[in-house]
Structure 1
Amino acid sequence: MSLEGRVAIVTGASKGIGLEIVKLLLHKGVKVAGWSRTDNDVTDPNYLFISVDVSDPESVAHAYNQTTEMLGEDVDILVNNAGVGHYGMMDEMPFEQWKQMFDVNVHGIYFVSNAVIPKMKELDRGHIINIGSIAGKNPVKGMVGYSGTKHAVTGISHSMFMELRDFGIKVTCIYPGSVNTNFFDDIESVTANENMMRPQDVASSVVHCLETHPNYLPVDFEVRPLRPKPTK
């Protein structure tokens, strides 16, 4: 299905997977609102950057109003990509880091999705893509907080797809394995490397799901690097 002329919101659009999603959607002729704390280097007449904190409902409401004023009210694509991760054992992690992960990774999906769903129901169409993680299916030692949030994203996504399918709204959860981004900058035990997936390939999976036939609903989409460790 052609994406030309559609209107999308992409959260966490400043770098990594989110930035590549923005670029690919613009290439497909989509009008894109990039929501993130910081701007990126995208210059395109169909691109609108909005500074937003997805964990703050007032910030989200303001960003949604700006988006509809500038790009039109028919927002029918949402990519919930904003996320944060901290490494730490359960009894060692500061509460501030624990809370931040739940505020952004879980509550952010709640606030942003609630902003767009009413109009999507009115349009009788839409596609919400939640960027989960392999950590949302398989627990990871030392990532108890992050794994907890991504398990929540899995459950939320599954319930959302069941609630919204009768309104013509698709909900897809994508589960990437390790991706070569700055996500690992603050995690001492892991260093980003070329054996990880490229963020642009994860972005291509997002667009693939968006381009599916109107009556075809991809629910779970798991992607992993072929050789996650260097071969000898």
Structure 2
Amino acid sequence: MTKLSVNINKIATLRNARGGNIPDVIKVAIDCQAFGAEGITVHPRPDQRHIRYSDVFDLQSKVKTEFNIEGNPTPEFISLIEKIRPSQVTLVPDSHDAITSSSGWDTITHKEFLSEVVSKFQSMGVRTSIFVDPNPDIIRAASQIGTDRIELYTGPYAEEFIKNKEKAISPYIEAAKLAKNLGLGVNAGHDLNLDNLNYLYINIPWIKEVSIGHSLISDALYMGLEKTIKAYKDCLKAPQPED
């Protein structure tokens, strides 16, 4: 079963725009779990423009499912992981001023650094995942690093899906097959939505987890959070045969 992890960064963005505590990030995380999400994802950035480091500490005791913390492994981020010990850490090569993630790690160039970071987190009992593009050489290097999983950056898939879904999915199928053969777990995330998620799932049903934030929170403005989470979970099922 592919798990749905809800990225709640956008909830924090809305809260921070006004100040105060509306909407309540902690309550939303609790509600997401109650409504069926199998995980909560946060991505604290150095400028704390959405999720703050203090939020991560507040969430620690409230996330009863899987707690996935994303980020660039700066010294401050590594210290955070040491203190929180989440279920999973996803390493993302964001610059300090990145608006959103736009590419995966070059696991060849940064192999030594990533190996040290992955080993450190694994020694704490934290599962590691490296955010990567669907590039065979990059995935092979990720396997050599010793990471538990990779997370496929699906931004290009989402963009191409609108024009040609078969072309869009092709490199991701090959990348996911290679990762599976190398013994890596496969996660996926970025720009996944109610239009493209099921097609990804039926073509790569062994995906362990999808992390979705922007589209899911946007859909919840119209559909409500409970119905939206159900709709996304429904995308993570094989299509039912017609009568």
- Decide: shared fold, TM above 0.5: no
TM-score normalised per structure 1: 0.37
TM-score normalised per structure 2: 0.36
